[in-house]
Amino acid sequence: MDNYNFPDQNGHFGPYGGTFVAETLIEALDELKEMYNQFKDDKEFLNEFHHDLKHFVGRPSPIYFAERLTHKIGGAKIYFKREDLNHTGAHKVNNTVGQALLAKKMGKPRVIAETGAGQHGVATATIAARLGLECVVYMGAEDVKRQSPNVYRMKLLGAKVVPVESGSKTLKDALNEALRDWVTNVSNTFYIIGTVAGPHPYPMMVRDFNSVVGKEAIGQMDELEGKQPDAVIACVGGGSNAMGIFYPYIPYKETRLIGVEAAGHGIETGKHAAPLTANSPVGVLHGNRTYMMQNEEGQIIETHSVSAGLDYPGVGPEHSWLKDTGRAEYVAVNDDEALAAFHNLCKTEGIIPALETSHAIAYAEKLAKELPKDKTILVNLSGRGDKDINTVANIAGIKI
Amino acid sequence: MSRISKIFSLLKSNNKKALIPFITAGDPSVEMTKKILHQLVDSGADMIELGIPFSDPMADGPVIQRASERALANNVGIRKTFEIAKEFRNTDQDTPLILMGYANPIEAIGFDEFLRLCKEADVDGIITVDYPPEESKEYVDKLKENDIDTIFLLAPTTEKERIQQIIKQATGFLYYVSLKGVTGAQNIDIDQVKHRVAEIKSLTDLPVGVGFGVRDPETAKAVASFSDSIVIGSRIIQEIEKSNENNMLENISKIIKSIREVI
């Protein structure tokens, strides 16, 4: 792990990742690879990217010591990397700013995106409005129903939201439909994928744009504690916020990296979204090879999680590789534990976290309890929970 | 010589073009698929492409997606597809059968098991939509060792250098995707397709089939004038959707015959 330099030039993270797409997409991916390679170290491009991160997104996001939570639990010190304070309320915007800027450089007037809970859709619609790009967001018809405030948000921002009626009508189907759109409109369209999945170069590119989170954290922890945390914890659906904070920490061997998946009703029930923790078979979906929830004949199965953003049957291929190499550990937290952590954080710290993020918080609470007081834990507080208040109220039987 | 190559050379000597219909295994039911396969041959199909149902067919348009969903609802997956193929082969030893599907069901049962089933059902060719050559060397080699043709897609956007690479891996025929889009789309540009097919044919002796946008005899005739084969899928599946069990075979037959007559 000293000279970690994945992926290889064909987008492989060990046996994972790659480019598993129909021939119709190869040329578009080659073009994207070439342009990304050209711009990723380009000074002017990076200046524009960081300018927008600072002035439009509000970076750097602070690191906050959760003093009352730490005392309540009585173990290791818990810190939060406050991605919830970004414009649009989550880490997702780091990536959309980067990709939209690339779209602009490539002269593509139209961007498309897939979205589950709607956070990535909102982040894409936001930056599309900022840059004057046409924006179409694909969203599973089920998710359109469940997440109506975000659907309206996207429309306010000028995006067209297309409900996807095929398959399970959720995030994975939205991704399929966005790929179909891209194949059809490849000459004028840039596909902004929202997580560290998809064919190469997406897992690498989305990680790189989000790694601003980990890079900032390393400097900030040094200032605050004079040392790096003993553990960095992040929730994992596709895994973009986790890769964003993990990646710069990979060489810091003393820091444990812990990804928290959604155990839904419980791993043993099969109703979950935790392919790494459940040791699901390895398969090929959405252009890459990775651990994936599927039946014996390779059909992708429906996932379950209280948080729509973690409701994805696969996981970014780099996480599969970090699991196999042992550099990162993966655990799962169920719906009830995540909801308890959600309520606890609201009352203890005055922060309403996203339900996705609540999974990471729940595990941080468990781990903090086991560790002595001189240890530190850094949680990527990847998003705020305003979008989830209807879901939480429904579960509590409250009508708002 | 493989069954596929034999048919192409036979057709060539008769100045005819290969008609390759596509249907999805298990749509609308296992029993009907078996009947439709024979009906296709009786109506003039030269080879058949049989789709392996998959939950996430990302290169397919809405019509073939729905076919996959109906098949999956009938519990038809990769193993049932092979049962159907095997039964077809028992009663038809001449018509080449090509399986078309996505990588994941193949990987889920494993390459070795997949090969065993291909041999058992005497399948002639495989199209794996999301296995570009650079990700499938080992798999393609194994298929070739077992005398199963490996058919690759070429897209309107595929550059010359890449076409040359793909040709090295391809056997049987090349499948040219006639438009930028998914199966069943409707914006085929005949002149552009003609130009591209000529370019491909200048690089290889392999036959070139055209699919993804062929919906009617008129288009089929135009495309057949410069290619070696027509693949027609969504149009047939639409007929399956519109028909009932009593008139389905007849309706499909009409379409196949109308195209057979002109190519």
A137: pLDDT strictly greater than 90 = yes
In chain A, what percentage of residues exceed pLDDT 90?
94
Domain annotation for chain B: domains and CATH numbers = 3-257 (3.20.20.70)
Is B154 in CB contact (< 8 Å) with chain A? yes
Query: What residues of B are in contact with residue A200 (Cβ under 8 Å)?
Result: none
Question: A64-73 contacts: CB < 8 A, separation 24 or more?
Answer: A64/A381, A65/A224, A66/A348, A66/A349, A68/A348, A68/A349, A69/A344, A69/A345, A69/A348, A69/A349, A69/A365, A70/A368, A72/A348, A73/A365, A73/A368, A73/A369
Is B110 in CB contact (< 8 Å) with chain A? no
- CA–CA distances in Å: residue B42 to residues B39, B46, B124, B241, B242: 5, 10, 19, 21, 21
Confidence of residue A89 (pLDDT cuts 50, 70, 90): very high
Shortest distance between the Cα of B97 and any Cα of chain A, in A, equals 21
Position B180 scores a pLDDT of 86
Question: Which entry of A108, A337, A382, A387 is annotated as an active-site residue?
Answer: A382
pLDDT in tens, A244-286: 999 999 999 999 999 999 999 999 999 999 999 999 999 999 9
pLDDT, chain B, mean: 96
Position A256 scores a pLDDT of 98
Neighbours of A399 (CB within 10 A): 7
Position B181 scores a pLDDT of 86
Confidence of residue B188 (pLDDT cuts 50, 70, 90): confident
Rounded-to-integer distance, Cα A28 and Cα A187, Å: 8
Radius of gyration of chain B (CA): 17
The answer to whether the bond into A60 is cis (omega within 30° of 0) is yes
The CATH code belonging to domain A12-53+92-207 is 3.40.50.1100
Average pLDDT over residues B58-70: 94
Confidence of residue B183 (pLDDT cuts 50, 70, 90): confident
Average pLDDT over residues A20-25: 96
Confidence of residue A2 (pLDDT cuts 50, 70, 90): low
In b/e form, how buried is each residue of A237-250, taking b as 16+ CB within 10 angstroms? Answer: bbbbbbbbbbbbbb
Out of B59, B66, B79, the one facing A22 most closely (by C-beta) is B59
Rounded-to-integer distance, Cα A86 and Cα A53, Å: 9
A365: pLDDT strictly greater than 90 = yes
Which helix (H) or strand (E) segment holds residue A382: the answer is none
Residues 6+ apart with CB under 8 A from A151: A118, A139, A144, A161
Out of B103, B104, B132, the one facing A26 most closely (by C-beta) is B132
Radius of gyration of chain A (CA): 19
Of B71, B74, B102, nearest in space to B183 by CA: B102
**Structure-token pair, residue A368:** 């903090």
Query: What residues of B are in contact with residue A12 (Cβ under 8 Å)?
Result: none
Confidence of residue A310 (pLDDT cuts 50, 70, 90): very high
B140: pLDDT strictly greater than 90 = yes
Q: By the 8 A CB rule, do B126 and B151 touch? A: yes
Is B105 in CB contact (< 8 Å) with chain A? yes
Is B82 in CB contact (< 8 Å) with chain A? no
A191 CB-contact burial (10 Å; exposed 0-12 / middle 13-18 / buried 19+): buried
Confidence of residue A1 (pLDDT cuts 50, 70, 90): low
Detail the DSSP E strand segments found in chain A: 12-13, 16-20, 63-65, 77-82, 110-115, 134-140, 160-164, 189-191, 231-235, 256-266, 271-273, 282-285, 287-291, 328-334, 376-381
Average pLDDT over residues A209-222: 98
Out of A19, A176, A297, the one facing B56 most closely (by C-beta) is A176
B28: pLDDT strictly greater than 70 = yes
Average pLDDT over residues A184-200: 96
Residue A20 to residue B54, Cβ atoms within 8 A: no
Active site residue A215: no
Residues 6+ apart with CB under 8 A from A362: A260, A333, A337, A338, A340, A341
ipTM reported for the complex surpasses 0.90 = yes
Rounded-to-integer distance, Cα A91 and Cα A242, Å: 10
- Where along chain A do the CATH 3.40.50.1100 domains lie? 12-53+92-207, 58-89+211-395
Mutate to test the interface with B, among A12, A16, A21, A24 (most CBs of B within 10 A): A24
Residues 11-70 (B) with a CB less than 8 A from some CB of A: 53-59, 61-62, 65-66, 69
In chain A, what percentage of residues exceed pLDDT 70?
100
Q: How far apart are the first and last CA of chain A?
A: 50
Residue A23 to residue B152, Cβ atoms within 8 A: yes
Supply the DSSP symbol for A398: -
Of A250, A238, A240, nearest in space to A276 by CA: A238
Q: Does domain A58-89+211-395 have CATH number 3.40.50.1100?
A: yes
Residue B157 to residue A287, Cβ atoms within 8 A: no
**CA dihedral over A74, A75, A76, A80, signed as positive or negative:** negative
pLDDT in tens, A143-174: 898 788 899 999 999 999 999 998 889 899 99
Rounded-to-integer distance, Cα A280 and Cα A288, Å: 15
Position B148 scores a pLDDT of 97
Average pLDDT over residues B127-154: 96
